[in-house]
Structure 1
Amino acid sequence: MIKKFLQGVMALLIAVGCLVFVSNVTATDAPTLKQPVVDVQIDAQKYYTDVVAADMVARKNLPIYTTINGDKQTKQQITANQFFKIKEFDVNIAGVPYYEVDGGYIKAAKSDLVIPQAMDEKNYFITQPGKVFTATKIKTFTGEDLKTVQREIKKNKKLRVDQLVWSATGEPLFKTNAGWIPAKKNLVKDVPEYRVPATAASSYDMTTGKFMYSKNLHKRLPNASTTKLMTLYLTEKHMRATGADWNTKITIDRSVARLSHAFYGEIPMKTGEVFTLKQLYECALIKSSNEAATALGIWVAGDNQKFIAMMNEQAQAWGMKDTHYYTSSGLDVDDVAKFKIIGEPGTSKTAHTYSSVHDLTILAEHYIQEYPDVLTTASIPKAKIKGITIRSTNWLIKGRPLYDKKAPVDGLKTGTTPKAGEVLVATGQKQGYHRIITVVMHANQDRYIVTKNMMLNAYARFAMK
């Protein structure tokens, strides 16, 4: 009803008020767009854009509200100079205009928003921070008026974009580490995005809390032994909450001992054998021991079913909507059913734990933020447990064959099953840069090479400093 009323108001205003509006608006407020847009001025502070999914840019950081009344803010915001799309225009009962955007609503205020003029083939925008290459030899300037030359930059040189702004006439400008330049395609070009040869993949900046790359972000896929990250997180959480320590003794039960001697067992164990908490933790994280992960879960909750319920409860608490656990190790149900160590009663033998690159990123971020010591263990290339030498399954960490100081990795967890293919949750922090979390699921090529290339591309395309 409000929208129909508004349409009538807008029609009337278009007929009698557009000349007043046009005469009062600067080029930055109402520039010429590639597609027709009807702008109607209500007063000096507010405006409406009658166009579906209009492109806009925030002048400053804008809070996103949960409702059109603007009474409660979400944890998200639109950052200054961010390029975003409007889903819908609405007016609340009080007559205040709002735009619906991803995640909620923002106020439609001229002081907060810019409708960019440069939306043609000669100009383009990027969401800062980012990097560009020079497409030709260019001059940079000391100020945004582009009057005083600062230096000359050769072709194919990389520039860091610190800020995206508009001139008084609505022309886009980049403030770079080498000075100000016009944001024109004939002068600079984007660093190409790496196309990841995997069913799903993502790279994530822990400092900004944003995905730099994503492919099938929420696609549910078998995730194999990356499941152990949740098991190990809950283990450390329980240890700290109960006053236990890394030297706490854990006795192996019959089901775990039997599992250890199966085809997918890693560390042979005996019923009644005693391991320290630290030994089982290292076996599970470094070697990806299924029996060690299962033993830790039973220690935490008292039995396997209760622990898997805890895993799913924690996933729900973190908003991991694409995830469900059936085992604490990541093995498929048909692999562990004969040892009676599945989760929910009546679970089908064809069931398997699944997750998404989005949810695995959430899990890794929580783990690293709450218990950063996980990286100390995850970066160990080899260890000795009861006389048995175990080597890390993660070939990207220092001391393993594919370590690369240009894309250093210090964690986190691999996963491999016939259904899951090659999975890898990796993290690293190049000196002077933000920490990255990458996830690759069902890699079509070597997961380590795919991950390294994804990290190198992230460093090349984004500032992260």
Structure 2
Amino acid sequence: MWKKTAMILMVLPVLMMTLAAAPHQIQAAEELGLHVDAAILIDADSGQILYEQNADAPLGIASMSKMMTEYLLFEAIKEGKVSWDQEYTVTDYTYQVSQDRQLSNVPLRLGETYTIRELYEALAIYSANAATIGIAETIAGSETKFVQLMNDKADELGLEGYTFVNSTGLNNEHLHGMHPEGTGEKDENVMPAKSVALLAYRLLEDYPEVLETTSIPSKIFREGTADAIKMDNWNFMLPGFVFEYEGVDGLKTGTTEFAGHSFTGTAKRGDTRLIAVVMKAVDKNGKGSYQARFDAARTLFDYGFNQFSKQEIIPAGHQFKGHETLPVKKGKEKTVKIGVEQPFSMLVKTTDKDQYGVKFSQDDSKLKDGGLEAPVKKGTVVGKADIIRKDGGDLYGFVQGGGLAADVVTTEKVEKAGWFKLSLQAVGDFFSGLWGKSTDFVKGLF
């Protein structure tokens, strides 16, 4: 456990001119004017939370559930359990769901075969529900078993407050009486906005290639066949659509009566990528709509891109005054230099950037009698450089553990001293001890 004993050792200089006045804390929900049941905005690189509103409340997620199906598909592909060219034969279940034109679907023929890539593109672009079930059946053998995989993976990823009852996010009553075993007829997938953001964060971190498909505005399913159908992406913030937003290239919409109009979007500008989640968005009159969810996402993106900038908080090799070295025992050198291993950058609110500083927290568990014992390897972690706020304000949290810190390591190696030098050191320590005892004795006489 890190021992937090040192005082603030450095306060960062101002890195760029102030653009606008704003409070130090994360803005309150009403200040952004969002009409949603929940929302969250995070940095896609670090998982740092920039804004949140009711983000811990479990709510319906509808087709945003398909991000978990995508994650499990990419994982199965990576592990060689499934291939893109593998063919799926349409079952009675997927056929019946695919013929329901009230749902988002591509037509699937009973007994016909389709490649996993075809089904995946239909899922990612058109949110095709029967195609999603086909992928689930391919990976796990049945949707019931796939739902178990979804819940297990959610636990593994550290999601909280989740319940998966099917692979699509539909209400079970739309599955023609064939919903997964052990789930209720009117059940629906639920999850808090923070967990949705974490799922999106992990999907982009582990399988960024998902954006190659989610960024496609339109594509023809089975072009040149009698079943050809144009798939327009439901993400209307993509280039060419009515709510186009610069930098948007994903990720997943979701709409059911229970979940309302929800959206997990991601956009990149420069070296900054953001993830925004809005749940059950409505307009100022309380009516849910596609525009309401995209307007809410736009507000979040504008806030993130306009109010924050990525700054290097700690440079690589930075040394702390008074803590430039650590003692080394039994080494050819008596001390070893220490410093920050890697540079640390984070998104900082433009008006807050002069409020950040760092302090050194030494890991005493690595020391023996106040020093390191030789041999000492270069890069040995000896503590942390913790980011703090000069004004004592709260730091932004993260959707997945972690924190605002960088490792402090030894920046050189120290070899163990030979027997002769160790002998001299022992003799020196012996006489030093005698001298100390003698002076203590003399002082005691007076």
**Structure 2 contact 106–221 (Cα < 8 Å) conserved:** no
Distance 1:189 1:362, change over 3 A: closer
1:302-451 equivalent positions in 2, closer than 5 A: 302-338=141-177, 340=178, 342-345=179-182, 347-386=183-222, 387-405=228-246, 408-431=247-270, 433-445=271-283, 446-451=292-297
Distance 1:108 1:235, change over 3 A: closer
Offset of 1:176 from its aligned partner? 3.8
**Structure 1 contact 283–289 (Cα < 8 Å) conserved:** yes
- AA paired with 1:343? P
1:14-93 equivalent positions in 2, closer than 5 A: 70=1
TM-score (normalizing by structure 1): 0.59
What's the counterpart of residue 80 of structure 2?
A: 242
Offset of 1:391 from its aligned partner? 0.5
**Structure 1 contact 409–429 (Cα < 8 Å) conserved:** yes
Offset of 1:400 from its aligned partner? 2.0
What's the counterpart of residue 278 of structure 1?
A: 117
Unaligned 5+ segments in structure 1 are 1-69, 71-105, 115-162, 166-173, 182-186
* Cα shift readout 1:222-278 (whole Å, capped 9, x = no counterpart): 100000111111112112212643222111111100111123252121211111111
Aligned length: 292
Greater RCO (Cα-Cα under 8 Å, separation 6 or more): 2
- AA paired with 2:306? A
SS of the residue corresponding to residue 321 of structure 1 reads coil
Q: In the alignment, is residue 301 of structure 1 matched against residue 128 of structure 2? A: no
| Greater radius of gyration (CA) | 2
Distance 1:197 1:245, change over 3 A: same
Q: Aligned equivalents of 1:437 and 1:265: distance in 2?
A: 24
**Structure 1 contact 309–343 (Cα < 8 Å) conserved:** no
Offset of 1:164 from its aligned partner? 5.7
SS of the residue corresponding to residue 459 of structure 1 reads helix
- AA paired with 2:180? G
Distance 1:350 1:245, change over 3 A: closer
TM-score (normalizing by structure 2): 0.62
What's the counterpart of residue 112 of structure 1?
A: 7
- AA paired with 1:278? R
1:121-200 equivalent positions in 2, closer than 5 A: 175-178=14-17, 188-190=21-23, 194-200=32-38
SS of the residue corresponding to residue 455 of structure 1 reads helix
Match of 1:256 among 94, 98, 102: 94
Q: In the alignment, is residue 288 of structure 1 matched against residue 127 of structure 2? A: yes
Q: Aligned equivalents of 2:113 and 2:4: distance in 1?
A: 64
**Structure 2 contact 104–126 (Cα < 8 Å) conserved:** no
**Structure 1 contact 232–293 (Cα < 8 Å) conserved:** no
Offset of 1:401 from its aligned partner? 2.1
**Structure 1 contact 375–410 (Cα < 8 Å) conserved:** yes
Q: Aligned equivalents of 1:208 and 1:348: distance in 2?
A: 37
Q: Aligned equivalents of 2:304 and 2:197: distance in 1?
A: 16
Question: Which structure's residues are more often helix, by fraction?
Answer: 2
What's the counterpart of residue 387 of structure 2?
A: none
RMSD: 2.3
